[in-house]
Structure 1
Amino acid sequence: MRIGNARRAVLASAGALALALSMAACGEQENEGGASGAGSPAPSTSVDQALADRVPDAIKADGVIKVGTDSTYPPAEYLDTDGSTVIGFDVDLFNAVAAKLGLKTEYVSAPFDALLPGVTSGQYEVGVSSFTINPERLQTVTMVSYFEAGTQWATKAGNPAGINPDDACGKKIAVQTGTVQLDDITARSEKCVTDGKPAITIDQYQAQSDATAAVVSGKNDAMLADSPVGAYAVKQTNGQLELLGDIYESAPYGYAVTKDQQAFAEVLRDALKALIADGTYEAALANWGVEAGGIDNPEVNA
C-alpha cells in the first residue's frame, strides 16, 4: 500500500466523474506504453545495457513485457478518457522500468482477482496493479517491492451515516474484491458478531471505481481503499466524499512474476534501484503527487 495524497489540480465535475467511472468498467483493453495523465509528460530514462543483457531471453524475445493490470484503480492504474489507454503512476513507473531494460510495455486490463492467476498461468509476464505484498501472495508468485501505502476509510462529506472505523457494526461498507481491505472489513465484521453487535454488510465490487460510486450515491455508508486511492476519490468527486480516520497498516506494493522467474524479479529490482539513483523514480511519483509513498530499497519477496 502507499502513503501520500493523490494528484490533480483540476477536479472533475460530477458528469466527468460518471464518465470516468463508466470507462473504468470497460472490458479488456490493451495499449503499448501509456501516457501520463498528470498534466506533464511521463519521465523518460535511458537503457542500461548491463541490466538489459540480464533480462531472460523468453521475456525479451519480442521486445515487449506483457503486463496484467486492473485499470479501475486511480491514480495507480486506470483508463484515460479514450477508454483504452491505461494511465497512472504505476504505469509511468513500470514504463520507466521497462525502458531501463530496453523493453516496451503492453497493458492488458482484467479484474483484480484474476491477475495473479493470469501471471501464474503465463497469460501475463508481470502483474502491475497495486498488489500489497503479503504471505498469501508470496505462496504463488515472486514479488518485487516498489512503493508503500496504507489503508484509509472514506465516507460522504459530513459523515451523515456516523461512521466510526473502530465500530462500523451494522453499517454498509464498500470494498474492491480481492484486496487486503476485504480481509480487513471481514475481520471487523466477525468481531462485531463476537461482541454481540450487528454484522457489517460488506458489498464487494470488481472495480474500485464502482465502490467509490456506491458511496457517492449513498448505496454504501463508507469504503476502505489504499490511501492514495481514497485521497484521489475525494478530489475527483469535488468533495462529495471525505477521508475518515488515519492511514493504517502501511505495507509495500510489489510487481508479481512467476515463482520460476527469480532472475527476472532481480533485474526488475535492479532497474528500480537504477531509477531511484538517477532521479526518474521520484519524478514518476511526483508527477502524480504520491512521492510520499516512495521507497529507498526495492527488494525481492520482502
Structure 2
Amino acid sequence: MSVRTRSIPAALAAATLAVVLAGCGAGGDGSGGAAGPSASAVPAPTKDDALAAMVPAAVSADGKLVFGTDASYPPNEFTDTDGTTVIGMDVDLGTAVAQKLGLTAQFENSQFSGIIPGIDGARYEAGISSFSITPERTATVDMVSYFTAGTSLAVKAGNPDGLDPERLCGRAIGVQAGTTQADEITQRQADCAAQGQPPIQVTELQQQTDVTLALTSNRIVGMLADSPVAAYAVTTTSNAVEVVGDPYDTAPYGVVIKKNSGQFAQAVQGAIQSLIADGTYKSILDKWNVANGAIPTSQINA
C-alpha cells in the first residue's frame, strides 16, 4: 500500500515494549488505545445550509452520516482505551464533515476489505479509512480527497538488520492484508525472483496493529505501512521502532461515496474545503501530528 494506501478489496509503551500502537488497551494486544493526541478536542464547525441541502434525502432523513472504517490504523482510525470508541484523525475529520452537513457522524468498525462493498450495498453511507485514491477505485465509487500520504518502512530501533526499502529480498516483512503495501509485496516478490534473490518472508495480517506488534515482538524485521501510521508507531512504542528513509509513492486519501448519489460527493467536497478554509482541518491534523499530509484543495476523483 504505497498508501492505505490500502488497496482495493479483491482488493505502538508505557510499561512494556510489547504494548503496540496507540498505547494499546489492557493486555497490550495491539487492538487499540491511545498514547494521546497533541491537542484537546476540536470545536464543532457550523452547519452550512447550502451544503446540507445537497445531501440526498436517503442519507439525511435519519440525521446521521454512517461511515464504514477499519479501526486498526492509528493515528488515522483506531479504538480508544475502552476498546470500543473509534477515534483518530479520520474520525475527527468525518465528524466535522457531518457537522458541516447538519448531521451526526456514526462510525461502524469493519474489516477494511468490506467497506467499499458495504457502501455499494447500502450498509454504509460513506467510507473513511485511509483509502488512497486510485483509478481502480474511482471506476466504481467516487472519492473526495482530504489528505496525502506515502508508504514508509518501519524497522526495529537502530535498524539492526540493515534494511532499506530497496533491499527487502529474503527478509521477514509484515503488511496489512488488503492494502496497497500488500499489493506492493507481490510485485517485490517478482522483482526478487527476477534478480535471483531469495523471496521476501511475508507476514500478512488483517489488522495493522497486529503487524506493528509482530515487529516489536521480533516476529518480523520490518513493516511497510502508510507514512503517518509508521511515524505514529515510532512515538507510541517509546521509540522501539524507527522509520528508514523517506515516504514513497505518495498519493491522496479519499472519502468514499457511492456513485450516482446526486450531489452527495459535491457536498462532502464542499464541506472539506470549508473546513480547510475555516481552520478546522488544520486543527484536526495538528491534533494528531499529521499536518505534513495536509492538502490545500479537496477534489472529487483527483
Alpha carbons of structure 1 residues 25 and 37: separation in structure 2 relative to 1, 3 Å: closer
State the SS of the aligned residue for 2:266: helix
Q: Distance in 2 between matches of 1:296 and 1:156?
A: 34
The answer on 1:85 being equivalent to 2:92 is no
Equivalent in the alignment of 2:177:
177
State the SS of the aligned residue for 1:249: strand
Equivalent in the alignment of 1:112:
112
Maintained 8 Å contact 1:119/1:257? yes
* Deviation of the 1:122 alpha carbon: 1.0
Maintained 8 Å contact 2:32/2:79? no
Alpha carbons of structure 1 residues 235 and 100: separation in structure 2 relative to 1, 3 Å: same
Amino acid in the other structure paired with 2:167: D
Equivalent in the alignment of 1:122:
122
* Deviation of the 1:23 alpha carbon: 6.4
* Deviation of the 1:208 alpha carbon: 0.3
| Cα deviation code 1:152-188 (max 9, x no counterpart) | 0001112122223212111111001111111122211
Q: Which moved further from structure 2: 48-57 or 16-25?
A: 16-25
Maintained 8 Å contact 1:23/1:83? no
Amino acid in the other structure paired with 1:277: A
Maintained 8 Å contact 2:32/2:80? no
Equivalent in the alignment of 1:61:
61
Equivalent in the alignment of 1:254:
254
* Deviation of the 1:37 alpha carbon: 4.9
Equivalent in the alignment of 1:279:
279
Q: Which moved further from structure 2: 164-173 or 73-82?
A: 164-173
TM-score between the two structures when normalised by the length of structure 1: 0.90
Q: Distance in 1 between matches of 2:166 and 2:60?
A: 49
Maintained 8 Å contact 2:133/2:143? yes
Q: Tell me, which stretches of 5 or more residues in structure 1 are unaligned?
A: 3-10, 27-35
Equivalent in the alignment of 1:12:
14
Equivalent in the alignment of 1:32:
none
State the SS of the aligned residue for 1:95: helix
Maintained 8 Å contact 1:155/1:242? yes
Mapping for residues 172-251 of structure 1, pairs under 5 Å: 172-251=172-251
Equivalent in the alignment of 2:51:
51
State the SS of the aligned residue for 1:118: helix
Q: Tell me, which stretches of 5 or more residues in structure 2 are unaligned?
A: 5-12
Equivalent in the alignment of 1:131:
131
Maintained 8 Å contact 1:186/1:202? no
* Deviation of the 1:288 alpha carbon: 1.0
State the SS of the aligned residue for 2:189: helix
Q: Quick one: which of 22, 30, 55 aligns to 2:29?
A: 22
| Cα deviation code 1:11-34 (max 9, x no counterpart) | 6332654743536279xxxxxxxx
State the SS of the aligned residue for 2:256: strand
| Cα deviation code 1:179-235 (max 9, x no counterpart) | 111112221111000111111122111110000000111111100011010010011
State the SS of the aligned residue for 2:67: strand
Matched residue count: 285
Q: Distance in 2 between matches of 1:196 and 1:211?
A: 27
Structure 1 runs, 4 residues or longer, greater than 4 Å off: 36-39
Maintained 8 Å contact 1:142/1:262? no
Mapping for residues 130-149 of structure 1, pairs under 5 Å: 130-149=130-149
Q: How much is the aligned-residue C-alpha RMSD, in angstroms?
A: 1.8
Amino acid in the other structure paired with 2:155: T
TM-score between the two structures when normalised by the length of structure 2: 0.90
